[in-house]
């Protein structure tokens, strides 16, 4: 009986000590990829200057990013609802299929990791351990605060962003979408739609695209 109680106690301690993939962090459950992905086909045969890997925010804003990168070839690999692990998997597959990586990679992912934020750290490391040391990686952090999950989303966004900021070393640089809002909190209402995640078409997507393009231009110099 004593041994059984010790075993139960140990099991409970292990469950409490480490986050699990099915743990509830207060932000609901991620639904997974939805809709049709935006996948550039030309980069499989023509080298791009920049590759954008993203989720629904990129699906909504990539055209504005391209607008702010005149004369540069932007390739896109974006899918609404996709988390960072699936995004990295897709990037690996592109290379396995023969795509040559451009000099700059923009990782605009992480919003769909907010429901399970502790998964982010391993994926940042996985990507950066894989990319060539000569390649410049720009990682966009996240701003998620859906009305139904606002407190949990903000807390979990901080966990995701901590993983990005701590893991983004060497040739990796963080583009802080979150700091854009932290500097002036009223911007959340100005630039994000009512869902609390996506930039509004027009004013929001232009702000998102301009912020990233400024960093890309610096990386391409």
What's the chain's length in residues? Answer: 221
CB 73 within 8 A of CB 121: no
Q: How far apart are CA 66 and CA 48, in angstroms?
A: 12
Which of 176, 166, 199, 158 lies closest to 26, judged by CA?
A: 158
Checking if the pLDDT of 197 tops 50, the result is yes
Over residues 194-201, the mean pLDDT reads 97
CB 87 within 8 A of CB 119: no
Domains along the chain?
Answer: 34-220 (3.40.50.1110)
Output helix, strand, coil percentages for the chain, rounded to the nearest 5: 50, 15, 35
Confidence of residue 208 (pLDDT cuts 50, 70, 90): very high
CB 205 within 8 A of CB 199: yes
Q: Render pLDDT for 132-185 as a digit per residue (tens, 0 to 9).
A: 988 999 999 999 999 999 999 999 999 999 999 999 999 999 999 999 999 999
CB 1 within 8 A of CB 50: no
Checking if the pLDDT of 29 tops 70, the result is yes
């Amino acid at each position: 009986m004593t041994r059984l109680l010790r075993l139960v106690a140990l099991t409970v301690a292990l469950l409490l000590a480490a986050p699990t993939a099915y743990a509830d962090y207060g932000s609901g459950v991620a639904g997974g990829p939805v809709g049709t992905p935006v996948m550039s086909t030309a980069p499989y045969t023509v080298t791009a200057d920049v590759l954008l890997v993203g989720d629904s925010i990129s699906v909504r804003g990539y055209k504005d990013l391209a607008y702010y990168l005149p004369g540069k070839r932007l390739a896109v690999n974006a899918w609404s609802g996709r988390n960072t692990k699936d995004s990295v998997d897709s990037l690996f597959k592109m290379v396995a299929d023969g795509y040559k990586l451009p000099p700059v990679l923009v990782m605009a992912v992480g919003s769909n990791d907010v429901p399970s934020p502790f998964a982010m750290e391993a994926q940042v490391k996985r990507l950066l351990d894989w990319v060539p040391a000569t390649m410049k990686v720009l990682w966009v952090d996240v701003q998620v605060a859906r009305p139904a999950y606002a407190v949990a989303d903000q807390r979990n966004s901080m966990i995701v962003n901590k993983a990005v900021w701590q893991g983004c070393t060497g040739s990796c640089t963080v583009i802080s979408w979150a700091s854009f809002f932290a500097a002036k909190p009223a911007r959340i209402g100005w630039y994000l739609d009512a869902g609390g995640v996506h930039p509004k078409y027009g004013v929001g997507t232009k702000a998102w695209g301009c912020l990233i393009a400024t960093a890309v231009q610096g990386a391409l110099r």
